Structure 1
Amino acid sequence: MSELYHNRILELAAGIAHLGELQSPEGSALKVSRICGSTVQVSLNLDEAGEVVTQIAVDPKACALGQASTSILSANAIGATIGEIRSARDALSAMLKSGGPPPEGRFWELRHLEPVADYPPRHASTLLAFEAAVAAIEAALAARASV
């Protein structure tokens, strides 16, 4: 268990950027882990083309693993393309569930969560932030399409 909560995980969990909510988000999503009850709310805005995150706010109520994942997302999401965020979510899921390699690029620090792969009940809370970010992106794009 101590390998899960090593120093870098605890540092990330304690230093989450962009906490709170945006005043007028284009997209927002709340994801909940049915296993442990952890939640992560992500609100964001996209650039004019709808391709790059320009603002993000997060509100995690999660364990240290969920908070660490949220920290990595929030510290690196501004300036990220929606493709980068989707790819990071998919790579994180593959790393946890099927032995895939850790994500690379701007979300490379997700590698610190690799030991979580051995603890399936913790997969859901570790994925919450990226699941919420992708859902918030989809909500923002849907809102734009309906205008």
Structure 2
Amino acid sequence: MAATLYNAEILRLATEIPHQGRLDAAHASAEKRSPVCGSRVIVDIRMDADGRIAALGQEVRACALGQASAALMARHAIDRTAAELAAARDALTAFLAGERPDPGSWPGLEIFGPAIPHKARHASIRLPFEAVAEAAAQARIAA
């Protein structure tokens, strides 16, 4: 069970988290914590004039699944809109809950399929997507 859940790709992603570190002069920030496992993610963003993420920084204190999720989120978040980020968050949430057969169009999220039966792990996987979607929504409102 653990070997499938924490496979080599998850462990590799956990060591390759892009955009680590907080952003100076962020347009918005969001912090998300999992009360179940204690994982924490803080995401800072700057948006461009078209309402797309221009810069991203993150501080990740999470298990390997949360770190892998942060890596996948950060690899593809630049140039995304608040609506795209919310859609990715919602698709991932529905996928983990077994409410849809796939995690949506965000690259790489299918790797979390083995975590579906492990509900206690879902919060950590969702944290980076919840944080970036919330930050983007805040930035859009502030603009």
State the TM-score, normalizing by the size of structure 1. Answer: 0.91
Q: Paired residue for 1:21?
A: 22
Provide the rounded CA distance (Å) in 2 between the counterparts of 1:82 and 1:113: 23
CA contact (8 A) 2:82 2:140 kept: no
Q: Paired residue for 2:119?
A: 120
Query: Which ranges in structure 1 are unaligned for 5 or more consecutive residues?
Result: none
Provide the rounded CA distance (Å) in 2 between the counterparts of 1:101 and 1:91: 10
Provide the rounded CA distance (Å) in 2 between the counterparts of 1:119 and 1:89: 18
1:135, CA displacement in angstroms?
1.0
Q: 1:63 and 1:13, CA in 2 relative to 1: closer, same or farther beyond 3 A?
A: same
1:140, CA displacement in angstroms?
1.0
Provide the rounded CA distance (Å) in 1 between the counterparts of 2:139 and 2:58: 16
Q: Deviations over 1:94-137 (max 9, x none)?
A: 110124133343x2201101111110011111100000011111
Name the aligned partner's letter for residue 48 of structure 1: A
Q: Alignment partner of 2:97: what SS? A: helix
CA contact (8 A) 1:42 1:132 kept: yes
What is the correspondence of 1:1-147 to structure 2 with a 5 Å cutoff? Answer: 1-50=2-51, 52-105=52-105, 107-144=106-143
Provide the rounded CA distance (Å) in 2 between the counterparts of 1:133 and 1:141: 12
Q: Deviations over 1:4-33 (max 9, x none)?
A: 110110111100000001111101000000
Name the aligned partner's letter for residue 37 of structure 2: C
Query: Which ranges in structure 2 are unaligned for 5 or more consecutive residues?
Result: none
CA contact (8 A) 1:65 1:126 kept: yes
Name the aligned partner's letter for residue 50 of structure 2: A
Provide the rounded CA distance (Å) in 2 between the counterparts of 1:7 and 1:99: 27
- Corresponding pairs, count: 142
CA contact (8 A) 2:92 2:104 kept: no
State the TM-score, normalizing by the size of structure 2. Answer: 0.94
Provide the rounded CA distance (Å) in 2 between the counterparts of 1:101 and 1:45: 33
Q: Alignment partner of 2:94: what SS? A: helix
- Give aligned-pair identity as a percent: 39
Provide the rounded CA distance (Å) in 2 between the counterparts of 1:117 and 1:9: 15
